[in-house]
Amino acid sequence: MVYDVIIIGAGPAGLSSGLYAARAKMKTLIIEKDKNGGQITGTDDVANYPGSIKDVTGPALVARMVEQCDAFGAERLKATVEKLELQNDIKKVHTDKGLYEAKSVILAMGAVPRKLGVPNEIALTGKGVSYCATCDADFFTGLEVYVIGGGDTALEEGLFITKFARKVTVIHRRDTFRAAKSIVEKAMKNPKMDFIYDSGIKEILGDGLVQGFVLENFKTGEVKTIMADENDGILGLFIFAGYLPETHLVNNLVHLDAMGYIQTDENMRTNIPGVFAAGDIRVKSLRQVVTATADGAIAAVQAEKYVDEHFGE
């Protein structure tokens, strides 16, 4: 079977593409290696998605998107894409579940959290180190938590963690935050939040669980060790240091910018005919759910036009 379109990734961009493509009667396959929804599944409150109901969560919004895709007939496959052949008219997608072919492809693999790259970070991930407040904040109920980052996500997730932790300290490498003024003001007014500026973590400490870390002040050069309260024995480290695009599959296929994001035109077209990109994986000025879903809709409509023009009778 040759699909009209294969969509790689089932985050908001991929699901929006699937919805629009399937609704246009395209034979549509959405491939996702992990859980549906991407980064939004770690969001407790999607307050800025236009028209969303009050207090809607990321998982609830994703569930509705999946439901819509299914209702219009999109097929979904849980598989890992291992290789792509995109240059020919019929695109080939090699996965651990077999080979799938399509007349067009939409790349919507998203991005993954950026690591600090310090000793013990990987070893202690899931053991005190986390990149998802919604996933893990409740594990630190009554404990102390440190949040690393200075953007909207860091402060928003820090505010969310205050619902569980007894204290949340935000560590930022600069002396001013990059987050929106309204978010900064809200964080500053929260009595459970504290702030450490001009600093970063050099090493994470712990035997099986995070018990402390080494902190460096970039302006003074001072290095000190911060340990968990002896009555707790553990502290939380939530890292929000940005994201890296999941473009390893297309490094030598489509044009990327210096940061590794896919370059497209306003119609989501890459440099390869019949190959489109949508969502956080592409070069853009704003990476939010609303822009991801918009990208997905555009990509699907353009894929439909491409298939009609190149394969229509």
Q: Which of 116, 150, 154 is nearest to 132 (CA)?
A: 154
Q: Over the stretch 273-298, which tens digit does the pLDDT of each residue have?
A: 999 999 999 999 888 889 999 999 99
pLDDT at 51: 78
Distance CA 173, CA 196 (A): 9
Strands 91-95 vs 98-102: parallel, antiparallel or unpaired: antiparallel
Would you call 311 helix, strand, or coil by DSSP? helix
Give the chain's mean pLDDT: 93
Q: Over the stretch 99-132, which tens digit does the pLDDT of each residue have?
A: 999 999 999 999 888 899 999 999 999 899 998 8
pLDDT at 271: 97
Confidence of residue 253 (pLDDT cuts 50, 70, 90): very high
- Options 3.50.50.60, 2.30.30.140, 3.40.50.2300, 3.40.1310.30; CATH for 2-113+243-311 is 3.50.50.60
pLDDT at 123: 94
Q: Which of 133, 167, 134, 173 is nearest to 150 (CA)?
A: 173
pLDDT of 44 over the 90 cut: no
User: Where does 29-123 have alpha helices with state H?
Assistant: 58-71
- Options 3.40.50.700, 3.40.50.620, 3.90.230.10, 3.50.50.60; CATH for 129-239 is 3.50.50.60
Strand 144-148's sheet: what is its strand order? 129-130, 236-239, 144-148, 167-171, 193-196
Contacts of 86 (CB under 8 A, 6+ apart): 92, 105, 250, 253, 254, 272, 274, 275
- Which residues belong to the active site? 132, 135-136
Distance CA 278, CA 122 (A): 29
Distance CA 101, CA 118 (A): 41
Confidence of residue 299 (pLDDT cuts 50, 70, 90): very high
Compute the average pLDDT of residues 164-179. Answer: 95
pLDDT of 203 over the 80 cut: yes
State the span(s) of the chain assigned CATH 3.50.50.60.
2-113+243-311, 129-239
